[in-house]
Amino acid sequence: MSVIELDRVETAPVREVQAPKLSFFRTLRFRLMLSVALVHAVLMGAFVWSAVNQQSAAIRAELRNRAHSLITLMAVASTNALLAEDLGSLAEVTARVKRQPDVINGAILDVRGDVLASTDAQQVGHYLRIPPRGSAVGGLHRLELEEQVRVAGQRVGTVLLGMSTRHLQSELAATRDEGLLFILLALVVGSVAAWGVSLLITRNLYTLMTAVRRIGRGNLGVRVDLQPNDEVGLLGGAFNAMAESLQRISEQAQSEHQRRTDAERLACVGELSASIAHEIRNPLSAVINSVKLLDRPDLPASDRAQSIAILNTESLRLQRILNDFLDFARIRESRLVTGDLSALIEEVAALIRQHPHAGTVKVDIQCDVRPCLVRHDPDQLRQVIWNLMLNGVQAMPEGGQLQVRVRCRARTARVSVTDTGCGIPVQLLDKIVRPFVTGRKQGTGLGLSIAQRILMQHGTTLSILSHVNVGTEMSFDLEVA
């Protein structure tokens, strides 16, 4: 039983969920083992208890029978001696009784209760209380019996016999100890057997668990090799079928994604080429026309000067378009460092205030924490803020207010650039960050797309909120250092 890896198919990085750590006492293995061991112990306990009880009853019955036979023999053996008051013969009877195993005492009494002979010589001649007729008093360690000796229905004496149950007790204790040992042995053997069985059952489950974890980590090529001869084996088959279809779906999704990316890339290249062609067509036509005019020898001096001026501005425009496009195309990887955002904004604001378009625009900076330390690429972020502020002042040719606000929070700092300008028409809003989309005559339409690309490299994007003739707010978040 093992986990097989087919061709490794890694999907997008998957966040691994940490599997909860299971304590040994909560595992299926332990529970299975415990239940088997407990059942084993209870059954063995019941069996041993019943065996000890049966043996105890049998030993007791045997002792009682032996005692009864012995006292009957004593009574028979002492009848004639009692009639003849032959103390010597009576003493012989008690002496014989004393030699029997387990006998504690034996005594022969006359009708009055005086001891005529006894295994305990000190009792002879003394009165001994006779227990009720036919009684057998069983103390913890002794069994006492009494038998009347009768001749023609007349009581001529009484025999007493006391037997020790100590032997019986020790035999029972030995049986009980043996039983306990047996239970203990059964517990150990049962636990070991249960452990083996639980290992067999749960081994396949662990194989499945490992495979599920690998799938969870994104490796969809994992399969399990389990024999389908029990429920877990069938589950393994279902798992393989699931992994198979997951892998197929993932491969389809990947190829679909690749196809779409290629198509989007092609469309983007086409759109970009069309935009560049559109941007350079007008200035290029102006340049060509001017060159044609200048080629005419009869061109008046004033027209010649105008053509040269056109050549000058249009070639400069072409150069600017080319430079902007190169800036856009060559945005380098961001090199993030920790720095003060408020200082950087103040720096850009100082330059914007001197810009010819700034006119009567009032530039206001608000920063709730200074310094506001964020992770950023200073050169690139300077360009983003410049582009946003410049768009703001260009949207307010008649003057207005441009406000840059920085709100520093625990994890992020939010930068927002707000103006009271013309606003962005709804039809332009959706595509405003695409390259070469512009609403201004002199614009290239690259400012916002450059800003968006740089911000994406910082792990954030531009949010735009705008109302025509009211104003525009452009904002983004940065990670606080």
Ligand X SMILES: Nc1ncnc2c1ncn2[C@@H]1O[C@H](COP(=O)(O)OP(=O)(O)OP(=O)(O)O)[C@@H](O)[C@H]1O
Residue numbers of the site for Mg ion (CB under 5 A)? 391, 447
The binding track of 54-93 with respect to ligand X, each residue x by CB under 6 A or -, is: ----------------------------------------
Q: What is the 3-state secondary structure (H, E, C) of 46-66?
A: HHHHHHHHHHHHHHHHHHHHH
Q: Let me know: does 206 contact 19? Beta carbons within 8 Å.
A: no
> Residue 36 or residue 272: which is nearer to ligand X going by CB?
272
Q: Is 340 in the site for ligand X (CB under 6 A)?
A: no
The option from Mg ion, ligand X, none interacting with 440 (CB < 5 to 8 A, set by class) reads ligand X
The conformation of residue 11, written as its DSSP 8-state character, comes to -
Helix extents (H) in 85-121: 87-98
The option from Mg ion, ligand X, none interacting with 219 (CB < 5 to 8 A, set by class) reads none
The option from Mg ion, ligand X, none interacting with 477 (CB < 5 to 8 A, set by class) reads none
Could you tell me the smallest distance in angstroms from the CB atom of residue 417 to Mg ion? Answer: 12
The option from Mg ion, ligand X, none interacting with 324 (CB < 5 to 8 A, set by class) reads ligand X
Which tokens sit at 403? 């406000």
The conformation of residue 116, written as its DSSP 8-state character, comes to E
Could you tell me the smallest distance in angstroms from the CB atom of residue 371 to Mg ion? Answer: 28
Which tokens sit at 254? 């990947």
Could you tell me the smallest distance in angstroms from the CB atom of residue 362 to ligand X? Answer: 15
> Residue 162 or residue 445: which is nearer to Mg ion going by CB?
445
Q: Is 155 in the site for ligand X (CB under 6 A)?
A: no
Distance separating alpha carbons of residues 476 and 187, to the nearest angstrom: 70
Q: Is 275 in the site for ligand X (CB under 6 A)?
A: no
Q: Is 422 in the site for ligand X (CB under 6 A)?
A: yes
**Which span sits near ligand X by CB under 6 A: 99-107, 171-179, 275-283, 444-452?**
444-452
The residue within the footprint of ligand X, chosen from 130, 443, 453, 475 (CB under 6 A), is: 443
> Residue 302 or residue 354: which is nearer to Mg ion going by CB?
354
> Residue 95 or residue 468: which is nearer to ligand X going by CB?
468
Q: Is 477 in the site for ligand X (CB under 6 A)?
A: no
Return the ∠ at Cα 195 (arms to 194 and 197), rounded to 5°: 60
Could you tell me the smallest distance in angstroms from the CB atom of residue 299 to ligand X? Answer: 34
> Residue 219 or residue 394: which is nearer to Mg ion going by CB?
394
368-407 positions binding ligand X, by CB under 6 A: 387, 391-392, 395
Could you tell me the smallest distance in angstroms from the CB atom of residue 331 to ligand X? Answer: 14
Could you tell me the smallest distance in angstroms from the CB atom of residue 314 to ligand X? Answer: 17
The conformation of residue 18, written as its DSSP 8-state character, comes to P
Could you tell me the smallest distance in angstroms from the CB atom of residue 354 to Mg ion? Answer: 17
**What b/e string do you get for 237-262 counting C-beta neighbours within 10 Å, with b at 16 or more?**
eebbeebeeebeebeeeeeeeeeeee
Would you report the helix, strand and coil content of the chain in percent, each value rounded to 5?
Answer: 55, 20, 25
Distance separating alpha carbons of residues 74 and 224, to the nearest angstrom: 85
Per DSSP, the residues of 310-354 read: HHHHHHHHHHHHHHHHHHHHTPPPP--EEEEHHHHHHHHHHHHHT
In the sheet with 142-151, reading across from the earlier edge strand, the strands are: 115-118, 103-109, 154-164, 142-151, 136-138
Where does this chain bind ligand X (CB under 6 A)?
A: 324, 387, 391-392, 395, 419, 421-424, 432, 437-440, 443-449, 472
